Structure 1
Amino acid sequence: MQAQEENTTAIVSKRTYITKPLATSKVPVINGIIDEVEWDIVKWSGDFIERQPDENTPPSQQTKFKIIYDQNFLYVAYRCYDTEPDLIEKRLSRRDGFAGDRITLVLDTYHDKRTAFSFTITAAGVKGDEFVSQNGDNWDPSWNPIWYAASRIDAEGWTAEIKIPLSQLKFGKSKEQIWGLQISRLFFRKDERSAWQRIPADAPGYISEFGELHGLLDIKPQKQLEIQPFTVTQYDTYPEEEGNPFREGQEFKLNGGLDAKIGITNDLTLDLTVNPDFGQVEADPAQIALDGFQIFFEEQRPFFVENKNIFDYQFANGSDNLFYSRRIGRNPQGIAGASPINDSGPLNEEFIDAPANTVILGAAKFSGKTKNGWSVGILESVTSREIAKIEDANGHRREAVVEPLTNYFVSRIQKDFNERNTFIGGIFTATSRDLGDAYNIDYENPDTDETSELTEVRENNLNFLRKSAYTGGIDFRHNWKDRKFFVEGNMVASHVEGSKEAITKTQELLTHLFQRVDASHLTVDPNRTSLTGTGGKITGGKSGGGNWRYEGGVFWRSPELELNDIGFLRRADEIKQFVNLRYQFLKPTKWFRRANFGVEEVSTFDFEGNYNRIEYEFNGYVNYKNNWWTEIGAGHKPRIFINAALRGGPRFRFSEENFAYLFFGSDSRKKFRFTVGYVNSLAKQNNFSFERYVVRLNYQPFDAFSMSIDPEFRKNLDKTQYVTEADFNGTPKYITGNIDQQTLSASIRLNYNVNPNLTIQYYGQPFISRGVYSDFNFVNNATAKNLKERITLYDANQISFADDEYAIDENRDGEVDYTIDTPDFAFVQFRSNLVVRWEYIPGSEIFLVWSQGITGDGNTSDHLFRSLNNQIFGQQPENTFLIKATYRFVL
């Protein structure tokens, strides 16, 4: 390893490029041909250095560029030399596809050494743009500014020109602007990256190491004003249900809305949306969570994705965050099926028309970063009161409120200090619900126009919801020794208020489980109307310099912490400690291009002091000389206790676990490439086992067309999968069973690019999951190390099955003590989107969308492919056809 250490960071001088303003009103024509005299006012800059795979060596092909400007635009010209121009990869893709040979301009216009704007142009003329944050650790392609680009291939290689409106960039007032600058090129057929400013392989970050752009004199900040109205025409078809007035087989909708972007100052922007439409957004992947916890889905809606880095407050590990924008516009939480009764008894069978999502009436977002280091974000959104329509077989109608009128507010602030090496920030969120009367008890007979008073089953259909929720936090990060070392942390607090029913339910949620029978530090208080909790983290380590990286820290979440009104929290009542160590090879060898390996230790406790888990893991990655790669890992969990496994029962022990995974893939440059992976987990005494098989196939037969399919198969066997809780003579019985769960899914994508601005994309995902239970048992000693002491199997004289129900005679006296509904399941789903997207002028688009969905219950006795055939190919699907048109006015 000594040879590796000798290649660690030396002092790297910062390069400077000096631009000049255009002297006349004549400007370059953006056509990819660099022949205008306007470019002659500045000199070419080049001397790029290789960054990957062999850092600090001459690249295979050189690159040079020029930058000029006027009061409205920044212009950049590139010359990318290539001694074999016939081999230049001109792969077409949708915007932000980043395929083939390409060159990227990255500008740190705030010069904060943490954030930047990225503009990429490919040899095929496809644009890509990203907002970069976290010193290069986060690249967000959802940022879609208006800019112009063109490229050409000639005898010397290829050239490109770009024109960026200064209104799309953010910078403060100054006589001379000094921006961070980096230009990098991907020489595709060798998968070689070169850069204008050298960044050593062991550098502690990316943006902090940029060179500088000088010479931007007397440019005035551009106040941005953009208005983008849209219209949507939608036609739905679905299977008609006889007698159901809400399922007549088809439906037509016409909708419209408005998005706007207003530059309050050059670096602070107000985004507005009225009645936003997200119809072209790809459907979420199907998942089943047997552990009962909520599933995290990535945000895909453009309004919330843009500038999301400013609002992000990931306070602990994983997906825990004080702001989870998917809460806004969520599925209605109320249940519309609770029928009122009249004097003659329950009403007839009812048909329900419940909204699938909550309408966002409007939202505003004020965000940006000032020149002196203030980062600001404020978001305000109002969602509508959603009503389900209910009608019985006699035509009597009523309504039920399934989601109240709700206001969401988020504010975020950070301030840079210490030459951008330190920041301190804070966040505050508020959720307010107008619960009001959740049931409309007027009962209308359409034949007589008479109404009669009815008695409600529940006093308030939404009384289980919290009335208000508030969260706040402070965070910081400090870097020293040229950013090679860091310490960061945060603290959060939450306060929720509501009725006794709402707060009691909150205490009993899987996130909290105050009713856990063996938890001496927790108890359900049915009279409480509020909860207050805290959480946070403190971590530190080495992020740059030399071959070694290390980090350690502690996270915590108190039992009463509750974030799920506008944030995301899976589990409270936990303290987690972790340490990891990683070694990076900084120079390629004769058999690999890049490689690293690491080890990690994690342990967890709850606030009662219970030592719940410890695990160790080794992992490594190698990218070979032929550009194939391998990722490998293995671990051991000698101690596993889970507080939530029995849903309020005692903390439950699982047997020791060993796991391992192996993934490898072929050269990503090739027309055909693949990834194959296998994951295996196995516990002692066969308590549980898990296998995952992954195949990813990608094929691009010609530049304009690509296709991929990612099939995946999972097999989960668990002898102690929770089933239910039963009462046996006043004693709770926690019942588990041996589950055999098999899941098959595949993501299918087809992409055809007519040109960089006109694309056709297809996405489809079949998903089948079947779970069959056997060997039912009850928990005997939840914390016993031996599985046979932990559970007791029912014998043949204690359990019988009939009519989808298990009858349990636990004491064998011939009488049924309790019953269990069969937990077997077979879930089948198919979702697909076909989208034609045409950006007819920069920033303005037309979408033609066909979405299709099928969801059904399969037969648990069928194998997976038979369920696929019967429940997907043999069923009538639900279809949505829509046309969405937008026009972006830039004023």
Structure 2
Amino acid sequence: MSLVVTDQSIKEHIMMRKCLVTSILFLIISGTVFSQADTTKVQRVYTTQKVNFGETIVIDGLLTDLAWNSVPWASDFTVFDPNNGEKPSQSTKFKITYDEKFLYVGIRCYDSVPSKIEKRLARRDNFSGDWIEINIDSYNDKRTGFSFNVSAAGVKGDEFISQNGDFWDASWNPIWYTATQIDHEGWSAEMKIPFSQLKFGEQKEQIWGLQLNRRFFREEERSLWQPVSLDAPGWVSEFGVLRGLIDIQPQKQLEIQPFLVNQYDAYPSQAGNPFSDGSDYGLNVGLDAKIGLTNDLTLDLTVNPDFGQVDADPGAIALDGFQIFFEERRPFFIENKNIFDFEFADGNDNIFYSRRIGRSPQGFANSTETEFVDQPTNSTILGAAKFSGKTKNGWSLGLLESITGNMYADIEDLAGNERSELVEPLTNYIVGRVQKDFNERNSFIGGIFTATNRNIPDNLDFLRSSAYTGGVDFKHSWKNRNYYVEGNIVGSHITGSQQAIERTQNSITHLFQRVDASHVDVDPDRTSLTGSGGKLALGKAGGGNWRYDGGVIWRSPELELNDIGFLRQADEIKQTANVRRLFIKPTNFYRRANLGLSQYSTFDFDGNYNRIQYEFQGFINYKNNWWTEVGAAHKPRIFSNTVLRGGPRWRWSDENFAYLFFGSDSRKKMNFTLGYVNSQAAENNFSLKRYVFRLYYQPFDAFNLSISSEFEENPNKTQYVTETSFDGDARYITGNIDQKTFSTAIRFNYSINPNLSIQYYGEPFISRGTYTDFNYVNNPIAENLSERVTLFSENQISGSADTNNYLIDEDIDGAIDYQIENPNFSYVQFRSNLVLRWEYIPGSEIFLVWSQGVVGAGDPSETLGRNLDRQILGQKKDNTILLKATYRFIL
């Protein structure tokens, strides 16, 4: 990697080197000052025995079956939070036994006041009230585990744990059985976990990691069987040991889950449009399957998958031109997501972004004003297969392949003539992932490879025909995992027509057409691009009261991941440094707190020093469980290569921002969060004010309601509008935008029992922007705002009598030099789901869904409240009624 150095950038290169050297010295000094000696951890061991021949255990929560007598009780839990290491307020004990196919767990949670046991009903994976949880590291890799949780009300929870406890995947829904009972001593729970739902290798005696975690709700106290310090570097690595599982045979999982979906759509009809007569009906049949090739490696298959019951994406609008990242919600892609993840940089940058599979078609039909078009909203996934798992030897393996079909827009004219036009081609996606643990599971090294191949016809040759990415990552931990060094390097190679590659070079991610960039330029003859990126970081993750990290991230100008990955911006080098002080010993004032300082700076591959930021963060959880979060930052240098969309580098005025959030005790049946964010740039260049209100209310155990509302004001004197030309030169137009955005997400859940619930989600989203004081860029990197842009005078700008455009006579000679389309906007969206969910037997469900939605444009001259009334409350909405039934066969 080399940087192009010009006379003008020598000073910036020196500053860059100083920042990098400072970060390295910071880490070395911090490691010397704050390093801790190794601590001796006493690892507890529970030794189980097999159920006696002929004895059985009935899962009723009573713990009265004779089979329980063959194994001893284990107790002596210690407090994890808040008074770490002390004796708990209430005692807990458990037993574990097994037979050929199941692991059985019996737990007694004592409570001196049984009438005060909190037994809140909720949907699966909603951890409310008093609960008990068992975590099992059956891989014994000290990084991953399986979590099974049950509340005093009998509500199930289950999660797959990865990254040593940094990631808990609640989408993992294994088949297992549980029951609870409340009596005069407290409450008890029984669990029956099939070995087929756990992953382990074949050996004489299984040795697994084990942890039990109890939440005593009234005191918000967490107690553990295996003691763990609050300054521990992780979660799974701190588990105790389960022994005594002799000669259990790995169970090859075989599950087949067919489904049937009936869907009826009703929407406002459009006169004369044959594709919009007011209603549609569809019937869909598909199949999901899970096949255990071995006990620890699984093949997942899906044919004609349906994602109809998945929540809608939240409302969002971006004026900076960049794509918006949305979380994956589809179960097939979420399960074992940790194996396929390759977050190589920061933010959401990832080599694999599964939302690319089944994306909205990228092409549009060529139609006339007298033709009607039925444009598909998503690409159809014809089928997908995923091979994934982790072996007892520490190999994590993943291979995913998916095919999306040709997607056509149907077109019909007024005479009834019909035709179709391809808008998304047949596409094949492949992702391969491997990682290997070594050094007693303290280190790993891994790799990833992806391939996207499209069958491109002439009308879609603006799409890339193929895209390949690869990467290698590693992490090494030492001193009881308290210290680590990690890094990765990635590469990409894309091919396509000259049009496709030129389009890529001009995209917002790359902007090779930047007029002042000497290291990149648009080559219209190219048919491929090859780029690289990566990260190197080291830091302290545990031990004592200090945490710190620092490193370097880079993305070369030609790096491109967006065929099956996510990359916001290429051409960047970023240096980071962070330090935090933890206060983990409770006092009479707080339960825990932390303070942090962070700094980062960015450069591009032309040697430009673009940005530096210093930030302070603080958090405190008070003794009464209320909390406060506060932060502030200073940005003395902000340059951007993207603001002018291919124009010259742009300078923003210096910025300061601060935020304050506080909230009440989340255990209470009514609790709230209030938040305020304020950002101000020098010379009033731009500002941001965001107000946040969240309310949670549970009037009785079976019902809860939550409201999350945000209002944002974001004025900007130099919001980009368009590019035009004047006297043969490029002219970049900006304006003073007054933008206001409002959204409110409303959810309620009524649980008839742990397996039958009704849930509602609704969110109106409104964003309105009006522009005044149009101006053109004069000197984009001038320190003063008045020198950066020049306002149009009243003699230079006027409104068109025939169109909604602005007419510009820049040289005031009486002739119109160019026009600006009126950029005012008002975007309105409403999405809602009312879902009845019934898990009639474990793993098999029925969904009855009623969805409503409306998307449109409001009147920018009206207030947000008026647009809310007219475009959402007063608008006829699209309605969908969906019935989905699944049945899981376990063979």
TM-score normalised over the length of structure 1: 0.95
In the alignment, which residue of structure 2 is the partner of 1:553?
551
In the alignment, which residue of structure 2 is the partner of 1:530?
528
* Residues 45-65 of structure 1: CA deviation (Å, up to 9, x unaligned): 000000001101111001000
Do the aligned residues in 2 keep the contact of 1:9 with 1:200 (CA within 8 Å)? no
Do the aligned residues in 1 keep the contact of 2:134 with 2:147 (CA within 8 Å)? yes
In the alignment, which residue of structure 2 is the partner of 1:255?
284
TM-score normalised over the length of structure 2: 0.95
Determine helix, strand or coil for the equivalent of 1:461: helix
Do the aligned residues in 2 keep the contact of 1:348 with 1:392 (CA within 8 Å)? no
* Residues 573-600 of structure 1: CA deviation (Å, up to 9, x unaligned): 0000000000111210110001001000
- Residues 713, 512 of structure 1: CA spacing in aligned structure 2 closer, same or farther, 3 A cutoff? same
Q: 1:416 aligns with which of 437, 440, 445?
A: 437
Q: How far apart, CA to CA, are the structure 1 residues paired with 2:316 and 2:54?
A: 58
State yes or no: 1:389 paired with 2:418. Answer: no
Return 686-695 or 852-861, whichever deviates more: 852-861
Determine helix, strand or coil for the equivalent of 2:499: helix
In the alignment, which residue of structure 1 is the partner of 2:207?
178
Do the aligned residues in 1 keep the contact of 2:644 with 2:650 (CA within 8 Å)? yes
State yes or no: 1:370 paired with 2:391. Answer: yes
Q: 2:59 aligns with which of 30, 42, 56?
A: 30
State yes or no: 1:132 paired with 2:161. Answer: yes
Provide structure 2 residue ranges, at least 5 long, that are not aligned to the other structure: 1-33
Q: How far apart, CA to CA, are the structure 2 residues paired with 1:310 and 1:728?
A: 54
Do the aligned residues in 2 keep the contact of 1:553 with 1:579 (CA within 8 Å)? yes
Alignment of 1:450-849 (within 5 A): 460-802=458-800, 803-849=803-849
Determine helix, strand or coil for the equivalent of 1:164: strand
State yes or no: 1:351 paired with 2:408. Answer: no
* Residues 130-168 of structure 1: CA deviation (Å, up to 9, x unaligned): 000000111110000000000010000000000000000
Alignment of 1:398-409 (within 5 A): 398-409=419-430
State yes or no: 1:80 paired with 2:109. Answer: yes
The one-letter code matched in structure 2 to 1:856 is G
The one-letter code matched in structure 2 to 1:284 is D
Determine helix, strand or coil for the equivalent of 2:332: helix
Do the aligned residues in 1 keep the contact of 2:38 with 2:480 (CA within 8 Å)? no
Q: CA deviation at 1:666?
A: 0.2
Q: CA deviation at 1:396?
A: 2.2
Q: How far apart, CA to CA, are the structure 2 residues paired with 1:367 and 1:473?
A: 18
The one-letter code matched in structure 2 to 1:592 is Y
The one-letter code matched in structure 2 to 1:881 is I
Determine helix, strand or coil for the equivalent of 1:321: coil
State yes or no: 1:50 paired with 2:79. Answer: yes
State yes or no: 1:213 paired with 2:247. Answer: no
Do the aligned residues in 2 keep the contact of 1:759 with 1:837 (CA within 8 Å)? yes
Do the aligned residues in 1 keep the contact of 2:36 with 2:543 (CA within 8 Å)? no
Do the aligned residues in 2 keep the contact of 1:799 with 1:808 (CA within 8 Å)? yes
Do the aligned residues in 1 keep the contact of 2:631 with 2:659 (CA within 8 Å)? yes
Q: How far apart, CA to CA, are the structure 2 residues paired with 1:362 and 1:791?
A: 53
* Residues 53-109 of structure 1: CA deviation (Å, up to 9, x unaligned): 110111100100000001100000000000000000000000000110000000000
The one-letter code matched in structure 1 to 2:560 is E
Q: 1:426 aligns with which of 447, 450, 458?
A: 447
Q: How far apart, CA to CA, are the structure 2 residues paired with 1:506 and 1:382?
A: 23
Do the aligned residues in 1 keep the contact of 2:831 with 2:853 (CA within 8 Å)? yes
Q: CA deviation at 1:6?
A: 14
The one-letter code matched in structure 1 to 2:143 is R
Determine helix, strand or coil for the equivalent of 2:605: coil
In the alignment, which residue of structure 1 is the partner of 2:356?
327
Q: How far apart, CA to CA, are the structure 2 residues paired with 1:426 and 1:828?
A: 43
* Residues 279-330 of structure 1: CA deviation (Å, up to 9, x unaligned): 0000000100010100000000000000000000000001000000000000
In the alignment, which residue of structure 2 is the partner of 1:854?
854
The one-letter code matched in structure 2 to 1:246 is F
Q: CA deviation at 1:435?
A: 1.1
- Residues 180, 289 of structure 1: CA spacing in aligned structure 2 closer, same or farther, 3 A cutoff? same
Do the aligned residues in 2 keep the contact of 1:473 with 1:492 (CA within 8 Å)? yes
Alignment of 1:258-337 (within 5 A): 258-336=287-365
Q: How far apart, CA to CA, are the structure 2 residues paired with 1:6 and 1:206?
A: 20
Q: 1:111 aligns with which of 111, 132, 140?
A: 140
The one-letter code matched in structure 2 to 1:79 is R
In the alignment, which residue of structure 1 is the partner of 2:22?
none
In the alignment, which residue of structure 1 is the partner of 2:220?
191
State yes or no: 1:156 paired with 2:185. Answer: yes
RMSD of equivalent CA atoms? 1.1
Do the aligned residues in 2 keep the contact of 1:377 with 1:412 (CA within 8 Å)? yes
* Residues 719-765 of structure 1: CA deviation (Å, up to 9, x unaligned): 01000001112110000000000000000001000000001000000
* Residues 768-789 of structure 1: CA deviation (Å, up to 9, x unaligned): 1100000000000010010000
Do the aligned residues in 1 keep the contact of 2:264 with 2:882 (CA within 8 Å)? yes
The one-letter code matched in structure 1 to 2:399 is I
* Residues 467-510 of structure 1: CA deviation (Å, up to 9, x unaligned): 00000000000001111110000000000000000000000000
The one-letter code matched in structure 1 to 2:447 is G
Determine helix, strand or coil for the equivalent of 1:607: coil
Determine helix, strand or coil for the equivalent of 2:372: strand
The one-letter code matched in structure 1 to 2:854 is I
Do the aligned residues in 2 keep the contact of 1:9 with 1:202 (CA within 8 Å)? no
In the alignment, which residue of structure 2 is the partner of 1:16?
45
Determine helix, strand or coil for the equivalent of 2:865: helix
In the alignment, which residue of structure 2 is the partner of 1:439?
none
Q: How far apart, CA to CA, are the structure 1 residues paired with 2:330 and 2:843?
A: 16
Q: How far apart, CA to CA, are the structure 2 residues paired with 1:461 and 1:294?
A: 24
Determine helix, strand or coil for the equivalent of 1:402: strand
Q: CA deviation at 1:11?
A: 2.1
Q: How far apart, CA to CA, are the structure 2 residues paired with 1:618 and 1:53?
A: 25
In the alignment, which residue of structure 1 is the partner of 2:885?
885
Return 23-32 or 96-105, whichever deviates more: 23-32
Alignment of 1:441-456 (within 5 A): none
The one-letter code matched in structure 2 to 1:96 is D
* Residues 398-422 of structure 1: CA deviation (Å, up to 9, x unaligned): 2110100000000000000100011
Q: How far apart, CA to CA, are the structure 2 residues paired with 1:6 and 1:533?
A: 38
Q: CA deviation at 1:8?
A: 9.9
Q: CA deviation at 1:7?
A: 12
- Residues 174, 879 of structure 1: CA spacing in aligned structure 2 closer, same or farther, 3 A cutoff? same
Q: 1:61 aligns with which of 87, 90, 93?
A: 90
Q: How far apart, CA to CA, are the structure 2 residues paired with 1:10 and 1:665?
A: 36
* Residues 582-634 of structure 1: CA deviation (Å, up to 9, x unaligned): 01112101100010010000100000010000000000100000000000000
Do the aligned residues in 2 keep the contact of 1:777 with 1:791 (CA within 8 Å)? yes
Q: CA deviation at 1:855?
A: 1.3
- Residues 199, 8 of structure 1: CA spacing in aligned structure 2 closer, same or farther, 3 A cutoff? farther
Q: CA deviation at 1:801?
A: 1.0
Do the aligned residues in 2 keep the contact of 1:7 with 1:587 (CA within 8 Å)? no
Q: How far apart, CA to CA, are the structure 2 residues paired with 1:745 and 1:300?
A: 21
State yes or no: 1:238 paired with 2:267. Answer: yes
Do the aligned residues in 2 keep the contact of 1:182 with 1:211 (CA within 8 Å)? yes
Do the aligned residues in 1 keep the contact of 2:593 with 2:618 (CA within 8 Å)? yes
Q: How far apart, CA to CA, are the structure 2 residues paired with 1:405 and 1:10?
A: 57
Displacement over 4 Å in runs of 4+: 5-10
